[in-house]
Chain A
Amino acid sequence: NAGVTQTPKFQVLKTGQSMTLQCAQDMNHNSMYWYRQDPGMGLRLIYYSASEGTTDKGEVPNGYNVSRLNKREFSLRLESAAPSQTSVYFCASSNDPSARAYNEQFFGPGTRLTVL
């Protein structure tokens, strides 16, 4: 099993450019999450999806959109990138029926994004 995979691993954008970060899991998990990690701030939740076809805002959703394409895939889109979105982005999944953090989350390897 690959677990949680993310693409790309690295990306450099110019301000105003758009891009989509891809995430897929092969563990048949219901819940999927997108976090950003910034130094000294831990992980902050951007969006989450408790099941296929549903998405909800997390702590820092502004400037992002998400799509739960099917049970396996959960993508994060930056429509117009800003330098403040320079961060490391992690996708995670869990076997939680309602994304309510009863069970452990499995994390992907991350995408390091730089916005110039």
Chain B
Amino acid sequence: AQSVAQPEDQVNVAEGNPLTVKCTYSVSGNPYLFWYVQYPNRGLQFLLKYITGDNLVKGSYGFEAEFNKSQTSFHLKKPSALVSDSALYFCAVRDLRDAGNMLTFGGGTRLMVKP
């Protein structure tokens, strides 16, 4: 069975500082990994994905994520946070070994960027 964990309910960071939102996953095969962002009263928006290749993936709005197979992690990062980055962030995984599997989402991490 596939699963994904976001260990922090909330991350607080000052504007201009680097930010990290953590995600760990569990699959039996190779993973597809995604990050989505949700602004208040809106649907989720795609940020970036890892399918294969370079472990460092760059996405929208200056975000990037690093795939670490040994640590089964896919942490979301940004070098310099903006107040407008404040939102709910979701990590999602799909195990390629099981053809019947759909995307599994983590519980979400609320990012608060303070001026």
Quick check: which of B63-71, B74-82, B98-106 contacts chain A, the rest being far away? B98-106
Which of A43, A48, A102 is in CB contact (< 8 Å) with B44? A43
Q: How far is the CA of A101 from the CA of B102 in the complex (A)?
A: 7
Query: A109 contacts the other chain (Cβ, under 8 Å)?
Result: yes
Structural contact, B106 and A48, CB atoms closer than 8 A: no
1/0 per position for B26-56, CB-CB distance to A under 8 A? 0000001010000001111110010100000
Which of B45, B46, B94 is in CB contact (< 8 Å) with A100? B94
Which residues of chain A come closer than 8 Å to B45, judged between CB atoms? 107
Which residues of chain A come closer than 8 Å to B92, judged between CB atoms? 101
Contacts A4-B43, A90-B43 given; does A105 touch B90 at CB 8 Å: no
Which of A43, A59, A100 is in CB contact (< 8 Å) with B99? A100
Structural contact, B107 and A45, CB atoms closer than 8 A: no
Structural contact, A101 and B32, CB atoms closer than 8 A: yes
Q: Number of B residues whose C-beta is below 8 Å from A?
A: 21
1/0 per position for A31-46, CB-CB distance to B under 8 A? 0010000001111110
Q: How far is the CA of A99 from the CA of B44 in the complex (A)?
A: 17
Contacts A41-B107, A59-B102 given; does A104 touch B46 at CB 8 Å: yes
Q: Interface of B with A (CB < 8 Å)?
A: 9, 32, 34, 41-46, 49, 51, 90, 92, 94, 99, 102-103, 105-108
Q: Interface of A with B (CB < 8 Å)?
A: 4, 33, 40-45, 48, 58-59, 90, 92, 99-102, 104-110
